[in-house]
Amino acid sequence: MKSFSCVHTLVALVFLLPFVFTQVWDQGFDNENFLYKIQENVSCADNQYPPPASDKVPTYVINLDLPPKLRWAQLMIDKKESALHLLQDIKTYTDSFFRGKLFPLLDKYLPLMAKTLPEPYLSELKGIAEVTGIELGEITLYNIFYEVFTLCTSMISQGANGKIYHGRNLDFGLFLGWDVKNHTWQTTEALRPLVVELDFQRGGRTVYKTVNFAGYVGVLTGMKPGRFTLTLDERFSMEGGFVGIIRWLLGDHSANWAGFLMRDVMEKADSYHQALTTLTTSKLLAPVYFILGGNTTDQGAIITRGRNEADVWFMGRGSVSQTSTWYLVETNYDHWNQPPFFDDRRTPAVHCLDKMGREAASLSGLFNVLATKPIFNKLTTYTCLMDVSTGQFESWIRNCPDPCKPW
Ligand SMILES: *[C@@H]1O[C@H](CO)[C@@H](O)[C@H](O)[C@H]1NC(C)=O
Ligand SMILES: *[C@@H]1O[C@H](CO)[C@@H](O)[C@H](O)[C@H]1NC(C)=O
Ligand SMILES: *[C@@H]1O[C@H](CO)[C@@H](O)[C@H](O)[C@H]1NC(C)=O
Does residue 286 form part of some domain? yes
| Active site annotation includes 152 | yes
Task: Please work out whether the CB of residue 226 comes within 6 Å of at least one atom of ligand 3.
Answer: yes
Q: What confidence score (pLDDT) does residue 99 get?
A: 65
Q: What confidence score (pLDDT) does residue 248 get?
A: 79
**Set 44, 152, 352, 400: catalytic member:** 152
With a pLDDT cut of 70, the percent of the chain lying above it is 81
Residues 197, 210: contact at Cβ < 8 Å? Answer: yes
pLDDT of residue 214 exceeding 80, the answer is yes
Digit-coded pLDDT (tens) for 92-106: 776 666 666 666 766
Alpha carbon distance 2, 69 (integer Å): 31
Q: What confidence score (pLDDT) does residue 189 get?
A: 82
Does residue 3 form part of some domain? no
Does residue 323 form part of some domain? yes
For ligand 2, atom 13, the nearest C-alpha belongs to 179
Does residue 73 form part of some domain? no
The pTM assigned to this predicted structure is 0.86
Does residue 272 form part of some domain? yes
Q: What band does 140 get if pLDDT is binned at 50, 70 and 90?
A: confident
Q: What confidence score (pLDDT) does residue 283 get?
A: 95
Q: What band does 190 get if pLDDT is binned at 50, 70 and 90?
A: confident
Residues 146, 214: contact at Cβ < 8 Å? Answer: no
Over residues 239-253, mean pLDDT? 73
| CATH code of the domain covering residue 210 | 3.60.60.10
Does residue 404 form part of some domain? no
Does residue 337 form part of some domain? yes
Q: Which residues of 277-295 are buried (b: 16+ CB within 10 A; e: fewer)?
A: ebbbebebbbbbbbbbbbb
The DSSP bridge pattern shows strands 195-202 and 205-213 to be: antiparallel
Q: What band does 87 get if pLDDT is binned at 50, 70 and 90?
A: confident
Distance 321 CA to ligand 1 centre (A): 24
Q: How many CB atoms lie within 10 A of CB 354?
A: 15
Alpha carbon distance 204, 342 (integer Å): 47
* Cis bond upstream, residue 118 (ω within 30): no
Residues 350, 331: contact at Cβ < 8 Å? Answer: no
| Cα end-to-end span (Å), the chain | 38
Alpha carbon distance 326, 152 (integer Å): 21
Angle between helices 102-114 and 73-98 (to 10 degrees): 130
Question: How many domains is the chain built from?
Answer: 1
Distance 389 CA to ligand 3 centre (A): 9
Digit-coded pLDDT (tens) for 380-405: 999 999 999 999 999 999 999 888 88
Digit-coded pLDDT (tens) for 18-69: 444 444 444 344 444 444 444 557 889 999 999 999 999 999 999 999 999 9
Q: Which residue has the higher pLDDT, 249 or 14?
A: 249
Q: What band does 249 get if pLDDT is binned at 50, 70 and 90?
A: confident
The atom of ligand 3 lying closest to the CA of 388 is 14
- Residue 57 domain boundaries: 33-65+150-397
Q: Is residue 370 left, alpha or beta, with left meaning phi > 0 and alpha meaning psi from -120 to 50?
A: alpha
pLDDT of residue 292 exceeding 80, the answer is yes
Q: What band does 311 get if pLDDT is binned at 50, 70 and 90?
A: very high
pLDDT of residue 236 exceeding 70, the answer is yes
The gap from C-alpha 178 to its chain's centroid, in whole angstroms, comes to 20
For ligand 2, atom 10, the nearest C-alpha belongs to 182
With a pLDDT cut of 90, the percent of the chain lying above it is 56
For ligand 3, atom 5, the nearest C-alpha belongs to 271
Task: Please work out whether the CB of residue 104 comes within 6 Å of at least one atom of ligand 3.
Answer: no
Q: What band does 239 get if pLDDT is binned at 50, 70 and 90?
A: low
Range ranked top by mean pLDDT from 63-67, 167-171, 348-352:
63-67
Does residue 117 form part of some domain? no
